[in-house]
A and B are shown apart, each in its own frame.
Chain A
Amino acid sequence: MTRLILRRLALLVPTLLGLSVLLFLWVRALPGGPATALLGERATPEAVSRINELYGFDRPLVEQYVTWLGQLVQGNFGVSTRTGRPVLDEFLARFPATIELSLVALLVAVGVGVPLGYLAARRQGKLIDHAAVVTSLLGVTIPVFFLAFLLKWLFAVQLDWFPSSGRQDPAMVATHPTGFYVLDGILTREWDAAWDAFVHLVLPALALGTIPLAIIARITRASVIDVQHADYVRTARAKGLSATHVRSRVILHNAMLPVATTIGLQVGLLLSGAVLTETVFAFPGVGKFLADAVFNLDYAVLQGFILLIAVVYALVNLMVDVSYGLIDPRMRTR
């Protein structure tokens, strides 16, 4: 197990290195320069060249890359040209928001997706099965941003059941020891604040969670159908185990293995979906800042954030694999 973890961590290094080269070249290939974005519409050529000099955009590409990499190794992800603050600080300041949103979205996806898929498999060909198939088909076909707009227009603008934007009511005065607003409200016993933060999470989390929900439901359904006809299930039944035991222990346990992997993969999807969802709901997380960075040509933020997201994604996948190994003993010997 330890070797698995170490090997995976070692593999992370070349992966990130390759990604860093791609990112660097991609960002440089974007049209225009950050100086005009920074200085505005009446910038003189002298001012533009001064900014380029200041930020090093005028030096040879290889030199820029090596400099950047050297700083990365020391934990220096550069400075946002837009806010003038370290990229790592900007990332860490927004990361709790995105985690909180992703967790709730994941909760929605797993909490609804798994039972839905399971029910559909057990009632194959019945109404609930058809409903589940249609739901999951819709879920994967509707683009995230469209769903986000739809949810917002209906439940925030028209019905006013939920707030339309942000992480908390602007009029709310609350303290944030951890940066996870719901948790903060609970820790500080500011129940209003906890509730308010939660209410702000609902629509974005629904928008963000729908695709993973659909995928998880489909995989669960397929997996349960697969497993319930397996030989060992028949054997278990033949050995006289109770129907309940077979369903909950044998079928569910074995059917959950591919579902666990799928859930792990969805975490990556959540992070990329967060860019769109957070933008629509003006939810101040990593995704929205990244989207803003695209419009502002904030090179350092683009490079740094995508790299940091990649690290998070890789670490989450590693954790998924480790937990997979805990569930499935066969993994451990490999």
Chain B
Amino acid sequence: MRNRWQIVAGGLVVGLALTACAASDRDPEGGADDGATSAGRDTFIFAASADPASLDPAFASDGESFRVARQIFEGLVGVEPGTADPAPLLAESWEVSDDGLEYTFALKEDVTFHDGTPFDAEAVCFNFERWNNFTGVLQSESLSYYWQKVNGGFASSDVETLDGTGKYESCEAVDASTAVVNLQSPLPELISALSLPSFSMQSPTALEEYDADGVTGDGEAPVLPEYATGHPTGTGPFTFESWSPGEEVVLSAYDEYWGEQGQVRRIVFPIISDATARRQALQAGDIDGYDLVGPADVVALEEAGFQIVNRDPFNVLYLGMNQANPDLAEPKVRQAIAHAINKEALVAQTLPEGTEVATNFVPPAVAGWNADVETYDYDPDRARTLLAEAGKSDLTIDFNYPTNVSRPYMPTPEQVFTAIEADLEAVGITVNPVPDPWNPEYLDKIQGGTEHGLHLLGWTGDYNDTYNFIGVFFGGASNEWGFDNPELFAAINDARYVADVDEQTAAYEEANAAILEFLPGVPLAHPVPSLAFKDDVQGYPASPVQDEVYNVITLGD
């Protein structure tokens, strides 16, 4: 028979053993670097904020999918390191015919996919044909968003408006290392766009073996095929190892890689959705780095000895002025608002260090950025005069801004709002604040309806192309801006398809000048996105378009 002390002691042992002995392991060694990463320093651990949507990059358009895809896959075109400019990758060079319809790619030789399939012109054509022949559910924007956006459509579509609107015509494998892509009409942004992970070269063998296009489900909802959940096969420096949804994605080095393999033999992307949790995981030494560091955390992390790496900004934050609101339809009111805002102070007070003040709706790195646009310098007196001229000296205006959200182009919307509100009130405009949670209320209100006044929004570019910015904003009439200006729309849409690069650049410069003349909104800033790393992570290839492949990283001991 047991006595009570045995029972009590038993219970305490069970309870306390958990804490006491667990603590004793990590405690004596101390130090942030043991435990998590001592097991051979060839594993790079980078916190992801979410699971990839799909491991098949042709079905992805989100940053987390692209981050993984960039390690596994390569496209015909890459980017110059640290810039957004296209550069050779699996295609060593290319020629575009004068009419802009025929693209001849000279392919890199002796490259194999991870399953041993040779990379050649046949494989290139297989991929182009695959994208162009997506049918049914595969044509939904949640899957093949970028092919649809860039190419304009598919070989055939069950949505009438999309049928036969695609620019792609055919692909020929002239010989093993020469592929020719023919278009129906010019698409000058094609080369830039091919640097997107969505247009990665994938192994034809694996695509067929694992039924990559076999999206199942009874029409109620698409279920991704085996390929997209467990067998992505590319030519990149890392091969897919495992994906435990909600937990981590693991990649390992591809020994037959054609290029430099580097020190990193294994990449783990633990999925940590909460921003604070990512910062703490770095501070606790559990991870090597993470993306989307909040501006408020940058200083604290730097002081604690962590590295902050900034990407060149490839985005724009703007103040939208909805012209469905009669007051904002008045050009002088819009000009007054533009003159009232002290952009330098706004950037200094509310945005990360290194942020540039914006004058165009495209960042300076993009072709077509125009130094000579109307800039509406900070001039409160001018603003007051313009308001008086417009007969709106006692103007009251709704100002919509999102709460509880941090976007790369807008880390702290509330602060930006507060700064602009003060500027506007200083020239006699009464601001009526309308805060809304980001998703879905805010976006619905701004993009889905007409009931908004001033608003904050922005955009991060996908690839180096002007249309990818201004076309998204002003390619046609929309609820967001509430105006119909066919001339402006036409100028932008015509510029998109000008085959000659120089002519196209000039056309885009003109379009940018026209936009700032018309002033549908005020471009505010190009904020710098920050990443944070342990101090021994060297050579992280920060890229404005996030073309960051980890085989160039070195890790300390």
Contacts and interface: CB of A to CB of B under 8 A. Distances in A.
Interface of A: 31-33, 36-45, 47, 50-51, 54-56, 67, 78-79, 81-86, 90, 93-94, 104, 107-108, 110-112, 114-115, 118-119, 122, 152-153, 155-157, 159-167, 169-172, 195, 198-199, 202, 205-206, 244-245, 247-248, 252, 279-282, 284, 288-289, 292, 295, 297, 300
B270 A170 contact: yes
21 contacts: A40-B61, A42-B472, A51-B142, A84-B222, A93-B244, A108-B18, A111-B13, A112-B11, A152-B280, A157-B280, A160-B31, A160-B285, A164-B284, A164-B286, A165-B272, A165-B277, A166-B281, A170-B43, A199-B22, A244-B1, A297-B440
A173 B247 CA distance: 14
Interface in B245-302: 245-248, 266, 268, 270-274, 277, 280-281, 283-287
Contacts of A160: 26, 30-32, 35, 284-285
A199 to B, nearest CB: 5
Nearest to B19: A202
Contacts of A54: 137, 140, 219-222
Contacts of B222: 54, 79, 84
Contacts of B283: 157, 164
Q: Pick the 3 closest A-B CB pairs, nearest first.
A: A32-B440, A111-B15, A111-B14
B3 to A, nearest CB: 5
A292 B268 CA distance: 21
Nearest to A155: B23
Contact of A292 (B53, B248, B273, B284): B273
Contacts of A164: 277, 280-281, 283-284, 286
Contact of A282 (B217, B220, B224, B281): B281
A156 B35 CA distance: 12
Q: Helix, strand, loop or mixed for chain A's interface?
A: helix
A38 B61 CA distance: 11
Counting chain B CB atoms within 10 Å of each CB, the highest count among A40, A152, A171, A199 belongs to A171
A206 B18 CA distance: 9
Nearest to A41: B443
B223 interface: yes
Contacts of B266: 171
Interface string B207-242: 000000000010111111000010000000000000
A79 B221 contact: yes
Interface string B138-161: 001110000000000000000100
Contact of A36 (B1, B3, B444): B444
B36 A163 contact: yes
A76 to B, nearest CB: 9
B45 interface: yes
B26 A161 contact: yes
A163 B284 contact: yes
Nearest to B446: A41
Contacts of A198: 22
A314 to B, nearest CB: 25
Given A81-B221, A164-B284, A282-B273, A248 B142 contact: no
A38 B30 contact: no
B277 A280 contact: yes
Given A31-B440, A202-B22, A282 B12 contact: no
B27 to A, nearest CB: 5
A162 B3 contact: no
Contacts of A169: 35-36, 39, 286
Interface residues of B, number: 78
B265 to A, nearest CB: 11
Nearest to B40: A171
B3 A244 contact: yes
A115 B11 contact: yes
A205 B18 contact: yes
Given A111-B15, A162-B22, A280-B277, A39 B141 contact: yes
Given A42-B447, A112-B11, A245-B1, 5 more contacts: A41-B447, A78-B220, A94-B246, A107-B18, A160-B35
B189 interface: no
Contact of B53 (A31, A67, A84, A86): A84
A327 B16 CA distance: 28
A252 B7 contact: yes
A284 B53 CA distance: 17
Contacts of B472: 42
A282 B140 contact: no
Interface string B41-57: 00101000011011000
Contact of A165 (B14, B137, B270): B270
B396 interface: no
Contacts of B7: 115, 118, 248, 252
B19 A107 contact: no
B272 A282 contact: yes
A177 to B, nearest CB: 14
Contacts of B26: 160-162, 199
Contacts of A119: 8
B39 A172 contact: yes
Nearest to A206: B19
A153 B443 contact: no
Contacts of B32: 160
Given A36-B440, A248-B1, A166 B223 contact: no
A157 B61 CA distance: 34
Contact of B270 (A112, A205, A282, A288): A282
B280 A86 contact: no
B268 A170 contact: yes
B448 interface: yes
B440 A50 contact: no
Contacts of A86: 223
A279 B280 CA distance: 13
B280 A166 contact: no
A171 B37 contact: yes
Contacts of B62: 40
A198 to B, nearest CB: 7
Nearest to B4: A247
Nearest to A78: B221
A301 to B, nearest CB: 11
B221 A32 contact: no
Nearest to A205: B18
Contacts of A170: 36, 43, 45, 248, 268, 270, 286-287
B220 A56 contact: yes
A83 to B, nearest CB: 6
A162 B30 CA distance: 10
A165 B36 contact: no
Contact of B141 (A33, A50, A195): A50
Contacts of B229: 85
Contacts of A112: 11-12, 15-16
B344 interface: no
Given A83-B245, A118-B8, A199-B25, A107 B141 contact: no
A239 B224 CA distance: 72
Contacts of A55: 220-221
B142 A39 contact: yes
A59 B550 CA distance: 46
